[in-house]
Amino acid sequence: MEHQSNNIVMEKIKVAINGYGVIGKRVADAITLQDDMELTGVCDVVSDWRINMAVSKSYPVYGFDQPVNNQMKEAGIPVMGSLDDMLQTADIVIDCTPKKIASQNIELYKKLGKKFILQGGEKHETTGHSFSAENNYETALGRESTRVVSCNTTSIVRTLTALKNAGLLKKARGTLLRRATDPWESHLNGIMNTLVPEKDIPSHQGPDAQTIDPSLDVITTAIKVPQTLSHLHYWNVQLTRQTTKEEVLRAFANSTRIAMINYSDGLPANNTVKELMLEMGRPYGDMYEVAVWKDMLKVQGDELFYAYIVDNQAIVIPETIDAIRALTGVEPHAEKSMRKTNESLGIKQSFY
């Protein structure tokens, strides 16, 4: 398939998705919204409603291996072949399989000479490159592979990069209240009426942010909380100098993926922000932006305090789309890729 860009007819990037779960299904939908990408298949191991939804969207469905293919056929799913077959159709594969599974697929991708993108559950070393569009798009250009960092890490790099670029960031210390599990599987798994600290200080997100930008002086702590909607971050940033709230807001405004919300505007909690996304018609009520409370944000001398919400199911979707353009080199400029992605997904800096 072809598309027009600057009056030159270009091949669309052929993208396959391995793993059709919380992230995979969102990446699939996002790819169908890009004029320079084509979804050539999705691959999974399940034969239930989840993969039937891909069929109903006319996505080409592949089974992981022959036994899975047989199960899918028995379930009446029009299976196109196995993972190997799907990979033949694609220029690049997005691995959205569960944590720690992806690393087992890497050899296959390499053997077939396919570029690949892993998600944040995998280690930095699996690809040797970690990706966050506003920070390091250019360093991924033409690479064979990258890892889109996790939802929490993405939010950290996005916000701290904005402060760093404004010359304001000295060091940042964050406390992360992590949603206990994803809503669709909260019947299997979760926590109730308690709080579960992550044992290690620093928690893994701070060091993970440094895989993208080693210059970030960032330390995180994290706690699992009994809710499923989204993460909530609290940050205390030591600035390089005394400044004003207005200057900080201008720094954040330089990121196209940070949106400001106001507590006093009927948005005092995670559930209200989720409802706003649903009312905006976002698929799944997804929020791709980091939503920072403008009226809570406080500058005191050379210290900055703020809180924001991270939609753990959604924030990495635009990052993954940009990573596809970076690895394939179809768009050398981060800003141009992000602009395309932002427009296609309706990403904005102010929700209304």
Positions marked active-site? 151
Determine the residue type at 256.
T
18 is in an annotated binding site: no
Q: Output phi, psi for 194, to 5 deg.
A: -160, 180
State in angstroms the smallest separation of the CB of 169 from a second copy.
16
Please identify, using beta-carbon distances, which residue of 32 and 238 lies nearer to a second copy. 238
Note whether 295 and 264 are within 8 A (CB). yes
State in angstroms the smallest separation of the CB of 116 from a second copy.
35
CB burial string 52-83: b at 16+ within 10 A, e below: bebbeeebbbbbbeeebbeebeeeebebbbbb
State in angstroms the smallest separation of the CB of 60 from a second copy.
36
* DSSP H helices in 57-204: 66-74, 83-88, 102-111, 133-136, 151-165
State in angstroms the smallest separation of the CB of 297 from a second copy.
8
Q: What angle do CA 315, 235, 304 make, to 5 degrees?
A: 120
202: which DSSP letter? Answer: S
Please identify, using beta-carbon distances, which residue of 53 and 269 lies nearer to a second copy. 269
Please identify, using beta-carbon distances, which residue of 165 and 263 lies nearer to a second copy. 263
Q: Which residues of the chain form beta strands (DSSP E)?
A: 2-5, 8-11, 13-18, 37-44, 61-63, 79-82, 92-95, 115-118, 130-131, 145-148, 169-179, 196-197, 218-225, 231-239, 258-261, 290-293, 298-300, 303-310
Please identify, using beta-carbon distances, which residue of 104 and 264 lies nearer to a second copy. 264
The tokens for 258 are 């940070």
Please identify, using beta-carbon distances, which residue of 173 and 348 lies nearer to a second copy. 173
Cis-peptide, bond into residue 214, ω within 30° of zero:
no
Residue 277 CA to residue 208 CA, distance in Å, equals 28
Please identify, using beta-carbon distances, which residue of 14 and 294 lies nearer to a second copy. 294
Closest-CA residue to 322 (of 161, 149, 100): 149
State in angstroms the smallest separation of the CB of 163 from a second copy.
17
State in angstroms the smallest separation of the CB of 280 from a second copy.
18
Interacting residues toward a second copy by CB under 8 A: 173, 175, 177, 191-197, 199-202, 219, 221, 223, 225-229, 232, 234, 236, 263-264, 268-272, 293, 295-298, 300, 303, 305-307
Note whether 166 and 243 are within 8 A (CB). no
CA distances from 22 to 26, 229, 233, 260, 315 (A): 7, 13, 22, 26, 12
The tokens for 67 are 């036994």
312 is in an annotated binding site: yes
Look up tokens 């768009």; give the residue.
331
Annotated binding site: which residue ranges? 44, 312
Annotated binding site for NAD(+): which residue ranges? 44, 312
